[in-house]
Amino acid sequence: MPKQLVVVLLFGGRSSEHSVSCATAGGVLAAIDRERYRVIPVGITRDGAMVLEDDDPARFAMGDVLPSVADNGTRVHFPESAASREFTLSDASGSRSLGEVDVVFPILHGRFGEDGTVQGMLELLGLPYVGAGVLASAVGMDKHFTKTVLQQSGIAVAPWHVVTAHAWSADAAAVTRAVARNAEWPLFVKPARAGSSVGVSRVDSSDEFAAAIESALAEDTKVLVETTIVGREVECAVLAGRDGGPPRVSVAGEIVTTAGTFYDFEAKYLDPDAASLVCPADLSPSELAEMQEIAARAFLAIDGTGLARVDFFLTADGFVVNELNTMPGFTPISMFPKCWIASGVSYPELIDELITLGLATAR
């Protein structure tokens, strides 16, 4: 039997998407091939402590109580330099080796994990890892710069206006007037560097604008105000090509929400009746081919590696990219794996492919 590869599964984290990351970890722990991989589950608490977690998928299931990483008193220590790949554990009984690690799988969502910070640490230590590199992670996390890069590459994006915490505190009335002059209600207000629709509001009039900005600023110091785009919400999943080949793009999925609602955190994770994920989406062959071509271009535009999910609006005038997510939700029922399953790649096979890509693109 071939030697088992040792995978550190890194999840939790300090962002507002902590629980989503934990749910993703539960999905991966349940599906990863245990004959091929030995898994070391490392949870990051909301305070940033790295602890050895239970290897128990059920512990991280989404339910009435959102899953989280608790400080259990253990501490997982990364290698001291790039000369070693040995991880160690310390607790009340002392310290011991966890052995050498082949690859790190950082299934972290949001800031301090998906934004290039953890990726930079792993590169400093010479540790192979799954997913986007530092640049793509940082660009993909910041919606303002994602749009800027994609627009420069000739890809249509939703119009936007940036509001900083400094500008808002200096003259909120002037910001409101400037936005109102250049946009039509309703608008969407969202943190520039957050995901899972945390802090996102639909604003139907100027009376609601200040509360929406304050809600978004609670998550970030930079906020995007976007024009409402009328169209179907469709998404597709991207995997990097093998051996320098072109990106591979899945079939499309579609988010169908209840009339009058939008796809917020509750609709995504807590209310099963608020939205449905339809995969494959009902698109013509030419529409699907165009969407896949744009998704591949967007992936390359941000220097993507590993994986991404590209979110679109399909309007009367064609496709408009809404966001690009370099570490999308990865539970078995999330859109990224659903799109690949509909494309003929099972969930365990997808995990295996991502680990293979991570090893092949070691920085």
In order of 84, 203, 208, the CA distances from 127 in angstroms are 9, 44, 47
- 3-state SS assignment for residue 152: helix
Any idea what DSSP says for residue 23?
H
Residue 191 domain-assigned (yes or no): yes
Q: How far apart are CA 42 and CA 8, in angstroms?
A: 7
Any idea what DSSP says for residue 205?
S
> Which residues make beta-bridge pairs with 191?
223
Same domain? For 153 and 268 the reply is: yes
The secondary structure of 30-90 as a DSSP string is HHS-TTTEEEEEEEE-TT--EEEPP--GGGG--SSS-------S-EEE--SSTT--EEEEE
Same domain? For 257 and 119 the reply is: no
Same domain? For 106 and 59 the reply is: yes
One-letter amino acid for residue 90 of the chain: S
Residue 135 domain-assigned (yes or no): no
Q: How far apart are CA 111 and CA 173, in angstroms?
A: 29
pLDDT tens, the chain, 363 aa long? 568 999 999 999 999 899 999 999 999 999 999 999 999 999 999 999 999 999 999 999 887 889 999 999 999 999 999 999 999 999 999 999 999 999 999 999 988 999 999 999 999 999 999 999 999 999 999 999 999 999 999 999 999 999 999 999 999 999 999 888 877 889 999 999 876 577 899 999 888 999 999 999 998 999 999 988 999 999 999 999 998 899 999 999 999 977 655 544 454 444 455 578 999 999 999 999 999 999 999 999 999 999 999 999 999 999 999 999 999 988 888 999 999 999 999 999 999 999 999 999 876
Domain membership of residue 177 as a residue range:
160-227
Report the domain count for the chain: 3
Residue 301 domain-assigned (yes or no): yes
| Residue after which a domain boundary falls, among 227, 257, 282 | 227
| Residue after which a domain boundary falls, among 227, 247, 275 | 227
